[in-house]
Amino acid sequence: MKKIKRINIDVNKCTGCRICEMICSAYHAEVQYSNINPSGARIRVFEDKENGVYVPVLAGPYSEVECPGRTTLVINGKEYGDCSFCRAACPSRRQFQEPDAAGIPLKCDMCGEPGPELPMCVAWCPTNALAYQVQEVPD
């Protein structure tokens, strides 16, 4: 059996406090907890002002090329481009790239191996909008 680790997000519980961004950046600082720079976090909180919700997004895999398609999604009457919900770091945007080293992509690593019992963003979320799940699946 192999373990699949996942952070589940409940946007209905997220208040947009961004504590997850701050603790993630502090935990991953070159000298752990030495500074807080949310642009170095592996999680970002986006605000959908029209619908009054905050959406935490975890950094996903790096893509060396831009996406070939540019489609538009319509949710509750508002249009979103492909990049709006994309988790990848890619050449077309600076999202999820190391702020102090140009172009180095960031990816959520669940706070590493071995890491804390819970990823830091989950442990520090005051509203339980983030939940850690480990699932065993056959190899």
The reported pLDDT for the residue numbered 125 is: 98
Q: Read off the amino acid at residue 27.
A: Y
Say what the pLDDT of residue 8 is. 95
Tens of pLDDT along 101-124?
Answer: 767 888 899 998 888 999 999 999
Question: Which residues constitute the domain of residue 11?
Answer: 2-137
pLDDT digits (tens, 9 = 90+) for 51-102: 888 989 998 877 676 666 667 767 677 777 766 666 776 666 667 777 777 6
Lowest-pLDDT choice from 17-26, 89-98, 130-139 = 89-98
**pLDDT for residue 82:** 65
Question: What is d(CA 21, CA 73) in angstroms, rounded to the nearest whole number?
Answer: 26
**Residue 123: partners with Cβ closer than 8 Å, 6 or more residues away:** 23, 116, 117
pLDDT at 18: 97
User: Given this model, what pLDDT does residue 53 score?
Assistant: 87
User: How many separate domains does the chain show?
Assistant: 1
Rounded mean pLDDT, 120-130: 97
Q: Which residue has the tokens 């975890």?
A: 58
